[in-house]
Amino acid sequence: MNDAREIDPVHAEFEQPMRLALAEARLAMDDGDVPVGAVVLDATGQVIAAGHNERELTADPTAHAEVVALRAAAARLGGWRLAGCTLVVTLEPCTMCAGAAVLARVERIVYGAVDLKAGAVGSLWDVVRDRRLNHRPEVIAEVLAEECGAVLTEFFARRRAG
């Protein structure tokens, strides 16, 4: 990451929520799941929900961190429309999660590590910016990208070694 990005105020604004998402990611790793974590912020920037990958724990292929956090946010707010909310996630969302964020009408997606194999927020696909959709969230990429990537690297290194 370049020095300009490290002092970028937009990225700095989301460092603390991303650290909370990283803590969620570590919980997934403790459960033997790929360490991805997410938090949802309301329009004031307050955390209203959190989640981490639970696919192994629940045997649910849709239990990605983003979906878990979006479901919790909707339950907390009492409705599926998450207008004004920000989804903060440690790894660039896949097509399912990017689609879920669009359908939930989140205002913004903030992610850490780029996912060149399955990323759908600009890397492999760009679901959230497809002009054919009626809602396109703002995207802020690579917040604490190195730290987010390091958790994933550690997880897969342990898995290969063990």
Residues acting as catalytic residues: 66
Residue 135 assigned as binding residue: no
Give the span between the Cα atoms of 13 and 27, in whole angstroms.
24
Give the span between the Cα atoms of 26 and 66, in whole angstroms.
15
Site of tokens 């730290």 = 147
Give the span between the Cα atoms of 51 and 54, in whole angstroms.
8
Cα atoms found within 13 Å of the Cα of residue 18, Cβ hemisphere only? 25
Residue 52 assigned as binding residue: no
Residue 85 assigned as binding residue: no
Are β-strands 47-52 and 108-113 bridged in parallel, bridged antiparallel, or unpaired?
A: unpaired
Handedness of CA 107, 111, 114, 117 (dihedral sign): negative
As annotated, the binding site includes: 64, 94, 97
As annotated, the binding site for Zn(2+) includes: 64, 94, 97
